[in-house]
Amino acid sequence: MNASPFISANQVIPVSSKAQLANVFSKAVKSVDATCVIAPEADGILEDLVRKSQEACPLSLNCSADSIHASSDKAAAFDILKKADIRVPETRVIDLQGDSEATVKEAIGIGPSLILKPVRGGGCSGLNMVTTENELKSTLAKTRTNSTQNFVIVQEAIHGIAASVNVICSCEGASPLTLNQQFVSISSPCFESAYLGGLVPLEHDLEDQALEAAVRAVECFPGLSGYVGVDMVLTDEEVFIIEVNPRVTTSYIGARRVLNVNLGEAMVQAAAENRLPQEARTLGYAIFYKVPGAWSSYAKLSKESLQVEIISPSLESGYGVGDSLVLVYTPTFMMAKAVRSIMSEVERG
């Protein structure tokens, strides 16, 4: 797979193996003025690469490696958030090598529907919803067989709007930018859950509480710096913090389209000068969605005279043709909702 034609960069270095990545990365971080590592938290990949970049490069735009380690461990993070009196779902950590019957009975007691997910991971990978004791037992058995981790999180399912807040952090504090909606498909153990896209910004009665809760959450983890995403669920009355993502999240692509703040500049200023953006405002709405490469509604969006941008093109690899990530900018919330309806055709097949 060659993505070079689609990437606007001074230099693109293709990497075809893990060993080659280590060599290329080590040389690259020593040759630049600043680094911003974008990588998954799973298996400690983000933490490891950031630690190496921070040792070799004078300026890192990432959170510290230690804060990535602390916030990426969902089990430990929930304890930290709960002790800070931040509203989080009822949560249990299950030892996959422990007494299955006892752990199942304890987990069933926290709610009629439960979310299972890895202690470390992202992007809905390994996340499932279960509603019966038998489903929970079978899912735990499957996880024991397939997982490389010794523990799994079982959590009360909070029903509401999946949302997030983008925050710029520095040693001086944290500045919330936008409240966003997340489009996620949470499936039973027989299927794969998926993150599909989002809307920036989201209009909601709990916006002020959500922004405040996000700032309180990131302040629980010393060393968070630059761009941080805080996942949450908004009910009619409350804000539940789900997790803190110590990295650039997908909602960045929507925020950069509608904010009056240059996010790249804000990350540099936070890291180099401990400066936070002031008076961040939005103009219009950005809706972005993951769609199959052969999706037929591109033409329909174009006919509506909407501003359509292909963020990530569909590329062919040994695994077949991948998905595209499409962003549409609209001036009004009602138009954004209409675009969401068109894009969601992909979910209905």
Q: What is the pLDDT of residue 44?
A: 87
d(CA 202, CA 322): 28
Beta-carbon count within 10 A of 20 CB: 12
**154-191 residue pLDDT tens:** 899 999 999 999 999 998 899 999 999 999 888 777 77
Q: What is the pLDDT of residue 174?
A: 95
Q: What is the pLDDT of residue 319?
A: 57
**Helices 45-56, 18-29: inter-axial angle, 10-degree rounding:** 30
- 96: which 2 tokens? 């996959």
Q: What is the pLDDT of residue 348?
A: 46
Half-sphere exposure of 242 (CA within 13 A, CB side): 28
Q: The pTM is what?
A: 0.90
Beta-carbon count within 10 A of 21 CB: 13
Q: What is the pLDDT of residue 114?
A: 87
Provide the residue-wise pLDDT of the chain in tens; the chain has 349 residues. 555 556 677 888 888 888 898 889 999 999 999 999 998 888 889 999 999 999 999 899 999 999 999 999 988 999 999 999 999 999 888 887 765 666 777 777 777 888 888 888 777 777 788 888 888 877 777 777 666 677 888 899 999 999 999 999 998 899 999 999 999 888 777 777 888 899 999 999 999 999 999 999 999 999 999 999 999 999 999 999 999 999 999 999 999 999 999 999 999 999 999 999 988 999 999 999 887 766 666 666 665 667 888 887 776 665 566 778 889 999 999 888 888 887 776 554 5
Q: What is the pLDDT of residue 143?
A: 74
Q: What is the pLDDT of residue 250?
A: 93
**190-203 residue pLDDT tens:** 777 888 899 999 99
- 322: which 2 tokens? 């991948």
Amino acid at 225: S
Kindly report the three-state secondary structure assignment for every residue of the chain.
CCCHHHCCCCCCCCCCCHHHHHHHHHHHHCCCCCECCCCCCHHHHHHHHHHHHHHHCCCECCCCHHHHHHHHCHHHHHHHHHHCCCCCCCEEEEECCCCHHHHHHHHHCCCCCEEEEECCCCCCCCCEEECCHHHHHHHHHHHHHHCCCCEEEEEECCCCEEEEEEEEEECCEEEEEEEEEEEEECCCCCCCCEEEEEEECCCCCCHHHHHHHHHHHHCCCCCCCEEEEEEEEECCCCEEEEEEECCCCCCHHHHHHHECCCHHHHHHHHHHHCCCCCCCCECCEEEEEEEECCCCCHHHHHHCCCEEEEEECCCEECCEECEEEEEEEECCHHHHHHHHHHHHHHCCC
**52-63 residue pLDDT tens:** 999 999 899 999
